[in-house]
Amino acid sequence: MKNLLLTILFSSIAIVATSQQCPPEWVYICSDGYLYDVQSDHNTYNLSETDFKKRLLENAFAGLARRVEVRIKDEAAMSKYAENGNVSKRYASTTTFSTDVELELVENKTIYNAKTREGYAIAYIDKSAARQFYRNKLQMTINNIENVIKTANIYIEMGFKAKAGEELQKNALPLIEQCDEPLFWLNFYELPTQQLQEDNSRVNALNKQLKQMVAELIHGTTIFIECKSDLFGSTYPKLEKELKGILSKQGCNFVNSPETADWVIRIESFAREYNQVSAGQFSTYFAYVESRITIYKTATNQRVCEDQISVKDGHTFNYTEAAKAAYKQLSSRLSDLLKEYINE
């Protein structure tokens, strides 16, 4: 839960208060184990005890926020040449702390002497509690990342590599970014160096693993394609080249053996003459291309598609050119069919 302190910093009814030495009751707080700000004043405004302590406490909150902001800037200045490229990013995520204090971490106490009309207020953060808070936050984020990776691995086992890559990109990589903030605060609240290095190493290792997995998945779908295309007794290799070009744009790679492929595609096509239509001095030749396609998913040993496509087209030159025009249409139809199944 967060609460803006701008109204505190610029309160219209300000108490002229000064930081004072801790009252004896708070000596344990005014130590290296806490971040704190103490404010004290005399109630010369004839405010009620409740209102006086409230205003005094607001000053303590604002003072603590300013102290934290100064420390953040000092921390960033000392770290700006650090090798860790996340320093500036983490600093950017913390620059609003002075006006956006997390109330889960801030505690407060007040003292008021009705006889002397003197009051004290302290706002403080227990560094140990803060370290535990941010370690829990970091661990929760890491757990979520690891759960996404498990889900992605299930997709991989099922043969849905593209879906696995999408899952990692959409739900895991953004979580890695969320690790920056708790890592910054763990350093800020003086987590022992060895533990901080261990936490950094865990996040860096996960980041490296994720990026490697995404790269392999997006560009890792392997296909074995067997394309037999007949053009009146001659082969028509253009169909296979066009289909491979389209699949390559989807991030697919091609292998020479069906045993090592994620997908096996078999296409048999042949051209046949249909008829000739004459109009005056001009004639148009029409030809059909008949094609049979079968798609297998290797991971599940499943025949996911078995279809037949027949395409007719014409040309004024001859049947061969008419068949080539039909093959062009067939290429488009087959491309749509492959997109429907491959990388789903």
CB 48, CB 112: distance < 8 Å: no
Question: 272 forms bridges with which residues in the sheet?
Answer: 288
CB 311, CB 289: distance < 8 Å: yes
SS3 readout for 274-324: EEEEEECCEEEEEEEEEEEEEEEECCCCEEEEEEEEEEEEEECCCHHHHHH
pLDDT truncated to tens, each residue of the chain (344 aa)?
A: 333 333 333 332 333 344 457 899 999 999 999 999 999 999 998 899 999 999 999 999 989 988 888 887 776 665 554 444 455 555 555 554 444 555 668 999 999 999 999 999 999 999 999 999 999 999 999 999 999 999 999 988 887 777 888 899 999 999 998 998 899 899 989 999 999 999 999 999 999 999 988 887 866 678 899 999 999 999 999 999 999 998 888 778 888 888 878 889 999 999 999 999 988 788 999 999 999 999 998 877 889 999 999 999 999 999 999 999 999 999 999 998 988 887 55
- Enter the tokens of residue 89: 């990013």
Helix (H, G, I), strand (E, B) or coil at 92: helix
The set of residues, in sequence order, having a beta carbon less than 8 Å from that of 157 and lying 6+ positions away, is 299
Query: Any idea which residue has 């008419």 for tokens?
Result: 322
Distance, CA of 11 to CA of 45 (rounded, Å): 15
- Enter the tokens of residue 209: 């693993």
Distances (CA, A) of 127 to 22, 85, 130, 131, 309: 18, 25, 5, 6, 70
> Which pTM was predicted?
0.64
Distance, C-alpha 204 to centroid of its chain: 15
Distance, CA of 81 to CA of 83 (rounded, Å): 6
